[in-house]
């Protein structure tokens, strides 16, 4: 069983498929307030039956409940669709063409919210994650989109330490360089971002010609060219380190760096294939 409380995720047990989200009475939540915009939360899922329940229950436990929770069942051959349908309050859209960016675009077209929030199926949201996102957009009407960092719930201590060190050293320096000095884009994480529906529509939605890697940097770059895009450290998500575990830390770091750099400099990711990691 997975328990969500005090603004973070605590794991009790080891089976994400049996996930239950509990919003405890003593959770240190941000007080709720009247809703100024409608929010659709979109989860793109290809063969994610094992991880999806924990993700969806963490959304249902939010201090600011989404107006619309949408799962894009992307050519799954496992029980992904059945898992999503079984959870009350979740809509399912079937996208038979396999591809993350194709699934993101299907989610955009089916969503009803003014604010579109995307997270990956292996993510778990802290209790006040969505309320913090909404607060940023309500306070700054010029904000078009934002992204937030990851924290890992299933990685070794060394990996978690590396990422936290990156978050407070290399990431801010990189963000300053690309946004303030070069003005060519922004750090933008595809598994944790929010965008105004009208802003996304204005740039033509997602670039579905991109195979997988670099699609988030592409989106951030295109949004950044039209208005304000922020990276908000308080809007973090918990996610799985399964890609790092399967491929190795060095290989994944190099993969992300070369596609981030290629997309910002050449407006195209370097890699045109990816490895499906489902562990």
pLDDT for residue 22: 30
Q: Which long-range contacts (CB under 8 A, 24 or more apart) does 171-179 make?
A: 175/231, 178/264, 179/224
For residue 122, name the pLDDT band (cuts at 50, 70, 90).
Answer: very high
pLDDT above 50 for 91:
yes
Answer whether CATH 3.30.70.270 is correct for domain 2-20+36-266.
no
The string of pLDDT tens digits covering residues 209-266 is 999 999 999 999 999 999 999 999 999 999 999 999 999 999 999 999 999 999 999 9
Q: At what angle do helices 249-266 and 215-224 cross, to 10 degrees?
A: 40
pLDDT for residue 243: 95
pLDDT above 80 for 74:
yes
Average pLDDT over residues 132-157: 97
Residue 272, Cα to own-chain centre: how many angstroms? 21
Provide the β-strand partners of residue 25: none
Higher pLDDT, 72 or 16: 72
Higher pLDDT, 19 or 47: 47
pLDDT for residue 14: 38
- The pTM assigned to this predicted structure is 0.88
What percent of the chain is modeled with pLDDT above 70? 87
pLDDT for residue 36: 82
pLDDT above 70 for 43:
yes
């Amino acid at each position: 069983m997975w328990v969500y409380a005090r603004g973070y995720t605590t794991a009790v047990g080891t089976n994400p498929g049996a996930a239950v989200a509990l919003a405890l009475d003593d959770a240190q939540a941000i007080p709720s307030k009247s809703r100024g915009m409608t929010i659709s939360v979109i989860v793109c899922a290809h063969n994610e039956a094992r991880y999806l329940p924990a993700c969806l229950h963490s959304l249902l436990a939010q201090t600011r409940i989404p107006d619309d929770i949408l799962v894009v069942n992307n050519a799954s051959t496992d029980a992904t669709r059945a898992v999503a349908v079984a959870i009350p309050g979740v809509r399912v859209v079937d996208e038979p063409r396999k591809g993350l960016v194709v699934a993101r675009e299907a989610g955009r077209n089916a969503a009803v919210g003014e604010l579109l929030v995307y997270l990956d199926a292996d993510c778990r949201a802290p209790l006040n994650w969505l309320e913090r996102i909404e607060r940023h957009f309500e306070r700054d009407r010029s904000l078009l989109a934002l992204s937030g960092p990851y924290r890992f719930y299933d990685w070794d201590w060394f990996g978690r330490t590396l990422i936290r060190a990156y978050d407070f050293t290399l990431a801010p320096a990189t963000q300053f360089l690309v946004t303030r000095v070069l003005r060519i884009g922004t750090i933008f994480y595809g598994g944790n971002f929010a965008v105004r529906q009208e802003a996304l529509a204005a740039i033509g939605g997602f670039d579905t010609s991109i195979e997988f890697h670099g699609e988030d940097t592409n989106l951030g770059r295109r949004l950044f060219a039209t208005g304000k895009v922020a990276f908000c450290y308080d809007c973090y998500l918990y996610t799985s380190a399964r890609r790092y575990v399967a491929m190795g830390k060095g290989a994944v770091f190099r993969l992300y760096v070369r596609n981030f750099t290629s997309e910002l400099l050449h407006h195209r990711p370097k890699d045109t294939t990816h490895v499906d990691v489902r562990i």
